[in-house]
């Protein structure tokens, strides 16, 4: 049986140490590495060793009890959470490690929500029980109240692989299965039936087994491994047509693209052809090499089967989240979105296009960077999660490409949307060119992005041109009128259009589509949006006055405080711009005893719109990439018609 297991935790909970212990116990490694000794098998990059944190989601292969395990150690720092999220989609089970001292922390909740969204069966391991201040009972209660009430503790007395189950565990299961409870009352305990029920409930997300121990001292790890092995069951079928999911992109030292894939079904061999979609285009390419990876060790193989994690070369355009083979056409939508933007700064002796080429490689490996080239300013901008990510990127660019760079001060990523429906028209007809497009723009649900619909009849505009309009709507972020920020949360419907049998050429419908979108924005009411955090702050009761005052100043909305003993918890939402640095302030005035969880909560109306618009200073009439005017032709030459006069000139 083949199983992919992911390791997750808030930074410093001991996740990588637990992974090292599992690898050692299964004879995968001969010596246990330690993060603090810079010797961890899965933290093999210099950046990870020096910082003592996991930055890249690396994997190892181990064998236990007849099963092959692919173990993925994911980053625990919030700045690298997109790397963690990309790995989730290929996991058969997850292990969430929580410190017995610190308990449930901010990133723990983010991880938990993502695992629930993707339906990944999840185990919990309360680690560091040997440390001063450890309190397993307190942390277990915290898990049940803050993560899920369906967590059940499995102690070392519950030796499930030997058929031994304590009454407390049996009660926890029986509470969630009435039929099992009836059988228990009538026939007593049949352990195999209880185990089958546990496995099914775990797979359906109705039960979450919890263990405790010390990864560093090897306490409780062997017991955990045996129960993990017993309760995770997969049924991959190698006999069906190949299906795969891309979960990571890397490049080797020669620049060759390495595509990391999980085989969800079937068999793949070297020289097989692989079908997938890049945007709307279907691509078929031949696999030239297949490699298995175990830490830093790479092995070439001739074939892989369902359940395997592997690398292929020969696939040029598939991105993380793409489906392959019978899964082609499906792409994972990611939840963790950067909220900051920064400009890449480098020496004038370096040609900007050379730097852009290297950042395009990084963008393929980490799509959340959303690398953007500003042709007018000859500048590169990237999206990031936080300051630590920028520091790591500086190091990566120097080590891989030999360039010394810095980054500008990170700025909030604003977006724009509309509040009223409108029809926008665009016409592009300089001499020997022709295209006209009519689009209906409607406000969409918050955080829905851009949704395209087609209500145009083929008799009005041929289907091939309709596809071009759809392509141009979705090919990039489109600038809003207020700050030039991307527009979002809009439903765009193609109503009608016109082409010319002789004069319509490539690019004409791009121009007409952009102008129709822009003219629609000119006609309606535009508003500015900013990113928000969902927050949870916990402080001693003596600090609640200061906290409430700070949250009010931060333009936060929040629920009434909840008190438990001497602790007070406040949950709510607030703009990223006002809360992004609050963790340091909180730590200072609570003397390190206050805790805060910040989870990306999507976009909402900007709390200081006028101030941001003035600061940005965007001139909608001077944007080199967009115009709301239309171009018409008369007497052999084109002429511009302003947006507010264009409707009566349209040909359709």
Task: Please say whether the beta carbons of 427 and 646 come within 8 A.
Answer: yes
190 has pLDDT over 80: no
Identify the band that residue 163 occupies on the pLDDT scale cut at 50, 70 and 90: confident
- Within a 10 A sphere around the Cβ of 307, how many other Cβ atoms? 22
pLDDT: is 138 or 185 the higher one?
Answer: 138
Q: Is 198 helix (H, G, I), strand (E, B) or coil?
A: helix
Q: Is 633 exposed, middle or buried (0-12, 13-18, 19+ CB in 10 A)?
A: middle
Digit-coded pLDDT (tens) for 579-622: 988 988 999 999 988 888 888 889 999 999 999 999 999 999 99
Do the two domains 2-231 and 340-412 of this chain adopt the same fold?
A: no
Task: Please say whether the beta carbons of 530 and 576 come within 8 A.
Answer: yes
Given phi > 0 = left and psi -120 to 50 = alpha, else beta, which region is 13?
A: alpha
343 has pLDDT over 60: yes
Residue where the block lists tokens 């440390």: 131
What is residue 294's predicted lDDT score, i.e. its pLDDT? 85
**N-terminal to C-terminal alpha carbon distance within the chain:** 62
What is residue 28's predicted lDDT score, i.e. its pLDDT? 83
Please tell me the CATH superfamily of domain 340-412, with its number. Elongation Factor G (Translational Gtpase), domain 3 (3.30.70.870)
Task: Please say whether the beta carbons of 316 and 82 come within 8 A.
Answer: no
Nearest to residue 82, comparing CAs of 385, 340, 496? 385
Q: What is the largest CA-CA distance in the chain?
A: 95
- According to CATH, the topology of domain 243-325 is Elongation Factor Tu (Ef-tu); domain 3 (2.40.30)
Q: Provide the 8-state DSSP code for 98.
A: E
Name the strands in the sheet holding 243-251, side by side, starting at the edge strand that comes first in the sequence: 297-301, 289-294, 309-313, 257-265, 243-251, 323-325
pLDDT: is 263 or 81 the higher one?
Answer: 263
CATH no. for 416-524+619-649? 3.30.230.10
Handedness of CA 519, 523, 527, 529 (dihedral sign): negative
Domain edges within the chain: 2-231, 243-325, 340-412, 416-524+619-649, 528-610
Residue where the block lists tokens 């508003």: 527
Digit-coded pLDDT (tens) for 526-550: 999 999 999 999 999 999 999 999 9
- Give the span between the Cα atoms of 371 and 543, in whole angstroms: 42
CATH no. for 528-610? 3.30.70.240
- Within a 10 A sphere around the Cβ of 547, how many other Cβ atoms? 22
Q: What is the average pLDDT across 306-334?
A: 87
Digit-coded pLDDT (tens) for 508-519: 999 999 999 999
Q: Is 607 exposed, middle or buried (0-12, 13-18, 19+ CB in 10 A)?
A: middle
The yes/no answer on whether domain 2-231 falls in CATH 3.40.50.300 is yes
């Amino acid at each position: 049986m083949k199983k992919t297991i992911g390791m997750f935790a808030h930074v410093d909970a001991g996740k990588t140490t637990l992974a090292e212990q599992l690898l050692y116990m299964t004879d995968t490694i001969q010596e246990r590495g330690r993060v603090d000794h810079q010797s961890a098998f899965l933290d093999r990059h210099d950046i990870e060793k020096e910082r003592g944190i996991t930055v890249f989601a690396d994997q190892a292969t181990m064998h236990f009890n007849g099963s092959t395990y692919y173990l993925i150690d994911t980053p625990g720092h919030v700045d690298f959470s997109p790397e963690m999220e990309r790995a989730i989609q290929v996991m058969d089970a997850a292990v969430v490690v929580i410190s017995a001292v610190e308990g449930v922390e901010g990133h723990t909740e983010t991880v938990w929500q993502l695992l629930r969204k993707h339906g990944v069966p999840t185990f919990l391991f309360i680690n560091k029980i040997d440390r001063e201040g450890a309190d397993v009972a307190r942390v277990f209660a915290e898990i049940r109240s803050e993560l899920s009430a369906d967590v059940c503790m499995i102690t070392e007395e519950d030796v499930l692989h030997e058929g031994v189950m304590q009454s407390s565990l049996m009660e926890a299961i029986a509470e969630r299965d009435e039929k099992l409870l009836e059988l228990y009352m009538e026939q007593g305990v049949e352990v195999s039936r209880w185990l089958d029920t546990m496995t099914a409930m775990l797979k359906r997300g109705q039960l979450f087994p919890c263990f405790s121990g010390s990864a560093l001292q090897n306490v409780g790890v062997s017991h955990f491994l045996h129960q993990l092995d017993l309760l995770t069951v997969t049924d991959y079928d190698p006999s069906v047509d190949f299906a795969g999911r891309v979960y990571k992109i890397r490049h080797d030292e020669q620049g060759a693209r390495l595509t990391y894939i999980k085989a969800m079904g079937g068999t793949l061999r070297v020289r097989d052809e692989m079908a997938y979609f890049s945007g709307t285009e279907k691509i078929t390419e031949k696999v030239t090499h297949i490699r298995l990876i175990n830490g830093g060790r790479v092995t070439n193989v001739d074939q892989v089967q369902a359940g395997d994690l592997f690398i292929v070369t020969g696939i040029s355009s598939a991105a993380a989240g793409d489906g392959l083979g019978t899964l082609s056409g499906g792409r994972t939508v990611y939840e963790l979105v950067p909220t900051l933007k920064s400009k890449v700064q480098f020496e004038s002796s370096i040609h900007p296009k050379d730097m852009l080429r290297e950042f395009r490689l990084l963008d393929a490996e980490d799509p959340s960077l959303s690398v953007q080239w500003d042709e007018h300013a000859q500048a590169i901008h990237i999206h990031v999660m936080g300051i630590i990510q920028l520091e790591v990127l500086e190091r990566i660019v120097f080590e891989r490409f030999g360039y010394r760079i810095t980054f500008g001060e990170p700025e909030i990523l604003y977006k724009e949307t509309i509040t009223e429906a409108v029809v926008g028209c665009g016409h592009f007809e300089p001499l020997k060119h022709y295209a006209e497009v009519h689009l209906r723009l409607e406000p969409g649900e918050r955080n829905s992005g851009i949704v395209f619909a087609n209500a145009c009849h083929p008799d009005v505009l041929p289907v091939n041109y309709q596809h071009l309009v759809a392509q141009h709507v979705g090919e990039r972020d489109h600038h809003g009128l207020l700050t030039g920020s991307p527009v979002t949360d809009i439903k765009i419907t193609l109503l009608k259009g016109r082409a010319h049998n002789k004069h319509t050429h490539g690019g004409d419908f791009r121009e007409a589509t952009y102008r129709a979108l822009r003219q629609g924005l000119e006609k309606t009411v535009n508003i500015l949006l900013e990113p928000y955090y969902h927050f949870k702050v916990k402080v001693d009761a003596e600090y609640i006055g200061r906290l409430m005052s700070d949250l009010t100043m931060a333009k936060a909305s929040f629920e009434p405080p909840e008190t438990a003993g001497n602790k007070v918890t406040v949950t709510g939402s607030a703009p990223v711009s006002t809360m992004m640095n609050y963790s340091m302030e909180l730590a200072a005035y609570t003397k390190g005893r206050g805790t805060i969880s910040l989870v990306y909560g999507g976009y909402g109306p900007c709390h200081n719109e006028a101030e941001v618009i003035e600061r940005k200073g965007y001139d909608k009439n001077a944007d080199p990439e967009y115009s709301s005017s239309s171009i018409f032709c008369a007497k052999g030459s084109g002429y511009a018609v302003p947006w507010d006069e264009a409707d009566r000139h349209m040909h359709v």
